[in-house]
Amino acid sequence: MKVKVAILGCSGRMGRNLIQAAHEHQSIELVGGSVRESSSFVDFDLGELAGIGAIGIKTSTQLTELTNADVYIDFTSIETTLENVQWCNEHNKALVIGTTGFNDEQVEQIKKAGQTMPVILAPNTSVGVNLMFKLLQVTAKAIGDYTDIEIFEAHHRFKKDAPSGTAVKMGQVIADTLGRDLNKCAVYGREGITEERKQETIGFATVRAGDIVGEHTAFFADLGERLEITHKASSRMTFALGAMRAAFWLSEADAGFYDMQDVLGLKE
């Protein structure tokens, strides 16, 4: 069985990787991609957009031109994604969301849509990153109560949200495991003369530079030893391939609010 997939916002860096991954995937049939009406890529061949040669499928500016898709993949912007959630819900379509930076209220809006449509919200669709989330849960359970926990992340200069959605998810996984409220224990930067570190805090450090695809490290540091759990991405294709895996899984799912842990069967 092939799942028909449309890429929403297909002209960006991630969108082009998604086009290539969908076109080359044995279980996916790429049926279309959307761009803004103001885009210079209106009516552009998706294959040429992705640099793989013409494939005979042109970009669309309206989702109503893409109703033959089973699953939609969205790595756009917060505002656009929320509009796409509403459209998919109204048209009984499944949606994989890779957009990051949602606030709590917006996440609740997506969760509510999950009551009547299948939707995956994944701050990172890499299989390796989602395995890392599981490792963080195990590590926090074993040593999180007595170690200092810090999260480091680095991305390219064009990334708009900080810390990254993946870094926030790392902190959320750790905080949930330890019974802490991340909104209360997170520290998002240090400057000047600060007081002694409070053990219950979870620190975040952010770097934006060059063309770094994505690097994330969680430090669990005690006096005398330190454990580091790291994931480094060297290509956006790892996220695109994970999104295809998510789309295939979601095509057979009932209405619900899911994440990559569901896709990979990692939830307890």
Q: Compute the residue count for the chain.
A: 268
Pick the catalytic residue from 93, 155, 169, 231.
Answer: 155
Tell the residue number behind the tokens 């893409």, with chain if given.
66
Q: How far is CA 27 from CA 131, 248, 255, in A?
A: 23, 7, 21
Task: Please state the φ and ψ torsions of residue 185, each to the nearest 5 degrees.
Answer: -105, -5
Active site (annotated) includes residue 155: yes
Active site (annotated) includes residue 112: no
Which amino acid is located at 61 in the chain?
T
Provide the token pair at 86: 């509403």
In three-state secondary structure terms, 121 is strand
All residues at 6 or more sequence positions from 50 whose CB lies less than 8 Å from its CB, including other chains = 16, 17, 19, 20, 23
Which residues are identified as catalytic? 155, 159
